[in-house]
Structure 1
């Protein structure tokens, strides 16, 4: 899509584009939207206010969040069928007796739902909603890493979180992402969230990043890690899909599932 086309959007076209970006990336900041749409932040705030009035998004500090990610929402999850495929693929990485470290988000939520009841696992998480979902699994020991809860990411952040993560070495980290790119690695737009995810990588022997293919070739403001620092990327598409070929060539150490 060319810049002049976006710049000439009508108000309704702009709002639809904003809604798509928020659903795709979970959270988007006012300033990032203003840059992408060639309008002022005040215009974006008015659009977000209208989208929130229509119960389509949730305003958070500095931006907006997809409604399906919120704890009180019954909204249909964006690209849910694709996220269920990713969840099923991720289950293949999990073995009985493992220690996992997991984040949060709608794809992680689908993964938790699909964990077989007979698996005995210890799962550490920094996400409150993930911890609640895990309570339905009879043979999982769930350990919540405590700290201040970010209203942006719904993850625990603060010095206590880093201290606890420093004493963990999980077999596998399972983490969602807001954006993923060959050069930009996987990234987010919130400083505190990025720092916690970096610490989670350090606290794990292996790592799997879960993402719908629509997020490929997208970048947010702050890099978490290069793709060479990740072991697996799990998407809904097959490894032969054209979207993955440039990644396979650029990062031969990375395994796509």
Structure 2
């Protein structure tokens, strides 16, 4: 199982930096795109044919989903358009959110069902997709947001926090994971962040320790944040390997 970071900038894109997007691949299976924020669709084209990709979304904030209308255009109008629908899993009303974003007429909603077969996540109910078993667990972030626990065909586990504040559920997402891809949007200074929205590096390390993960990969660092300070915080609360992920980075999980 392979994880490729297509974009990892938090909340907004940075100079030359795409927002959240990750490619999941299993040998012999169709790739899966996990989140698709601004800039991600262009990076996807370096790695995979957009016609042959299924999609899973953690939540419907713009920095996690609003490059998907570009995929819709590609699948409809490329010289060799898609002949079947991509599977799209996401939170409640994902079809309305993306249909509104792609509509040509203000106030109307584009019917995306010609391009995507849409299924809404159900908390704790696993989904089998392209050689992966994906379990969505609702976490502490508005609106409906899911951490995603992704098991490969040989038992490898990638845990993705999505966006979240501190909660017990994100520990459940991460429990025993080989790689915990965890958002760490800011430092732990008490006065510079609203509650129940995002994690600090300090909190990401705490969760990784409590969950007993093998390695912590920090992501979703905002362009205005201090990544080295966030990394130092995570290392102060988690004794295992800690990475600040970068665009283009590849993680290979072997059996």
Assess same fold via TM > 0.5: no
- The structure that has the greater radius of gyration is 1
Q: TM-score per shorter chain, which class?
A: 0.3 to 0.5
